């Protein structure tokens, strides 16, 4: 693994060690390498082809190389993928760069550590195994509810903390829109930063969260879902909300 030279060490090897380290992010002419893999190089993104294998290949490769993924636009149809830590996925904007669950998948579009989710558990009582440090921006996640027959099937469902979500639309979940939990004993875990999130036209509840202690929401909208817009679970301390919220009692699940 590439590293920086050690001060007062690495005698006669500083140059080669430093060049090896710099080559991870730089081309031989000194310019920066592209730190994102373009999904168009691995997937059709034509709205009909099953791009599951291509996406998973690119996602795993990005994780191994310390890179991110770029969705240039169009509808990428795929099955379930496990969220990978520290891998950012960026798109050209909601409604432009779309991930859509394939017909008959009957599972989540993106998920992680779902067996640890328990919205009724006491905070601090749960597993410390969860996904962390990942991010998404500029995307639509479409659960394709019309072509699923069973679940759980969410566009987004995970147990973990520390995610950053920005400019994300979550639609057409068969079971619900977003379900996130974290009730481990890890103190003061930064449980997520969400900005400009829009969950709508999902069956069930649009957004459910459990366990956050210092979660930050800014312009997180949920509307037009099958049941309620929001469910802040009993084990949750509640997110800190930015400006512009007008939540009615009827929007909240018990």
- How much is the pLDDT for 29? 76
Q: Closest Cα partner for 155 from 177, 139, 133?
A: 177
110 and 23 in one domain?
no
70 and 21 in one domain?
no
- How many C-beta neighbours within 10 Å does residue 27 have? 11
108 and 47 in one domain?
yes
24 and 128 in one domain?
no
121 and 15 in one domain?
no
Question: Is the per-residue pLDDT at 155 higher than 70?
Answer: yes
Task: Indicate the number of domains in the chain.
Answer: 2
90 and 174 in one domain?
yes
User: What integer best gives the mean pLDDT of the chain?
Assistant: 87
Question: Is the per-residue pLDDT at 83 higher than 70?
Answer: yes
4 and 71 in one domain?
no
- How much is the pLDDT for 251? 52
2 and 60 in one domain?
no
166 and 126 in one domain?
yes
- How much is the pLDDT for 1? 52
10 and 66 in one domain?
no
pTM to 2 decimal places: 0.83
CATH number of the domain where residue 171 is located: 2.160.20.10
- How much is the pLDDT for 24? 64
- How many C-beta neighbours within 10 Å does residue 148 have? 21
74 and 51 in one domain?
yes
144 and 237 in one domain?
yes
**E runs forming strands in 102-163:** 110-112, 131-132, 135-142, 156-161
- Give residue 26's domain range: 1-33
């Amino acid at each position: 693994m590439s590293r920086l030279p050690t001060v007062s060490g690495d005698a006669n090897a500083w140059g080669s060690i430093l060049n090896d380290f710099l080559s991870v992010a730089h081309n031989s002419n000194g310019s920066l390498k592209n730190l994102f893999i373009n999904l168009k190089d691995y997937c059709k993104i034509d709205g009909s082809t099953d791009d599951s294998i291509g996406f998973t290949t690119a996602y795993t490769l990005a994780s191994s190389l310390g890179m991110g993924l770029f969705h240039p636009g169009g509808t990428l149809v795929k099955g379930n993928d496990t969220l990978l830590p520290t891998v950012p996925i960026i798109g050209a904007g909601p409604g432009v760069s779309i991930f859509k669950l394939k017909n008959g998948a009957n599972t989540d579009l993106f998920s992680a550590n779902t067996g640890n989710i328990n919205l009724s558990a006491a905070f601090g009582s749960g597993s410390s195994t969860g996904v962390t440090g990942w991010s998404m921006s500029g995307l639509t996640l479409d659960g394709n509810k019309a072509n699923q027959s069973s679940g759980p099937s969410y566009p987004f469902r995970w147990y973990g903390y520390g995610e950053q979500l920005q400019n994300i639309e979550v639609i057409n979940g068969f079971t619900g829109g977003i379900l996130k939990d974290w009730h481990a004993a890890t103190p003061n875990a930064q449980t997520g930063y969400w900005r400009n999130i829009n969950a709508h036209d999902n069956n069930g509840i649009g957004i459910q969260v459990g366990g956050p202690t210092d979660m930050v929401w800014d312009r997180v909208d949920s509307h037009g879902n099958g049941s309620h817009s929001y469910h802040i679970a009993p084990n949750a301390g509640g997110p800190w909300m930015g400006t512009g919220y007008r939540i009615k009692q009827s929007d909240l699940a018990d």
